[in-house]
Structure 1
Amino acid sequence: MRLSTTRSMNPQKGLALAHRQRGATAVEFALVFPLFFTIVYMIITFSLMMVAQQNLTLAAEEGARAALNYQPNTSLQSALTNRAAAACVAAQAVVASIVSAATCTSTASACSPSNGMQCVQVAMAYDYQNHPIVPSIALLNITLPKTLTSSATVQLNPENIQ
């Protein structure tokens, strides 16, 4: 009965095989690392973008709620203008520490001609292309949005505005 030859029987052959495999791990790592890094980078980037988007949404909602508060006024139009301005002040206060470059616009207008209600819309925007949260990497920035936006609207009864 003949046993098959193994490395233990021929130590020279095993040593030569180990010597040939010496740089294989480094080459495999060099091939896999860029893919792994890209995946981790995109997970972090999109997670932080979602946090910024949620904060913009929260700010727009808080601004819309602030438009419900009484503001000093002399007419219906000045009341709506003052409430819209107060809405942006409240919205900017919410995002000031997180997304400091966010801009707020608020408009007051009639919701629909049939019901006579007035609406205040608060819109938040963040220029992500010029103010990225995570520094962008070449070729990966084509998947990122240029701006993040969010808006909220509150409906006001004209009888309760002044």
Structure 2
Amino acid sequence: MSVALPDRRPARRQRGIATLEFALMLMFGLLPLLLVTYSGVMIMAVQQTLSAASAEGARAAFRHATPGERRTAACLAARRSMQWLLTYAKQTPDCATAGAPPITVSTPTPCADLPAVQCIRVEVSYDYGAHPFLPGTGRVYGWVMPKPLRSTAVSQLDLGGN
């Protein structure tokens, strides 16, 4: 009676399969997850920057006297606060008029709740679809964010009749 030895050829064909599976999981599993996480964190950073820029613009509008000076000061302060975004998007807003995105400063108008009081509205925006941080994510996030990211702040300019 002879004992048959196991065939070692199938074991040789299995050599390296774990490495191949790891490489595929890394490429198709972990890297996309990391890229989506990174772009999500960057979108949150953009929104935080926009919030700070609109608030800085509204504060600057409060400190100056004439309406023209208030609008220019608000635009300049917002531009300073979001300079890294403007540099990345290759945008240079015109603070002389301050009437077009990415930085829009309204003329002093009556406030919505208190018509006797003048308010200025500072709105800043960033179009992630046109300037994504990772190529291709503009389209991916386009269905979630069809419009540019925005932040608005309103500054009450006077106490109205005091």
TM-score (norm 2): 0.73
Match of residue 106 from structure 1: 105
Displacement of 1:25 after TM fit? 2.0
Contact 2:129 2:139 in 1 (8 A): no
**1:138 & 1:125 partners in 2: Cα distance?**
15
Match of residue 19 from structure 1: 12
Match of 1:84 among 62, 66, 71: 71
Counterpart amino acid of residue 12 in structure 2:
H
Structure 1, unpaired ranges of 5+: 1-9, 72-78
Displacement of 1:67 after TM fit? 0.6
Count of residues in correspondence between the two structures: 144
State, as a whole percentage, how many aligned pairs show the same letter: 31
Single out whichever of 46-55 and 142-151 deviates more from structure 2.
142-151
SS at match of 2:84: coil
Q: How does 1:12-161 map to 2 (within 5 A)?
A: 13=6, 15-29=8-22, 31-32=24-25, 33-71=27-65, 79-100=66-87, 101=89, 103-107=102-106, 108-112=108-112, 114-136=114-136, 140-142=140-142, 145=145, 146-157=147-158
**1:114 & 1:153 partners in 2: Cα distance?**
13
**1:25 & 1:142 partners in 2: Cα distance?**
37
Change (3 A) 1:144 1:111: same
Displacement of 1:56 after TM fit? 0.9
* Larger-Rg structure: 1
**2:80 & 2:159 partners in 1: Cα distance?**
27
CA deviation string 1:75-96 (max 9, x = no partner): xxxx234312210111001111
Structure 2, unpaired ranges of 5+: 92-101
Displacement of 1:15 after TM fit? 3.6
Runs of 4+ that moved beyond 6 A:
none
Change (3 A) 1:119 1:139: closer
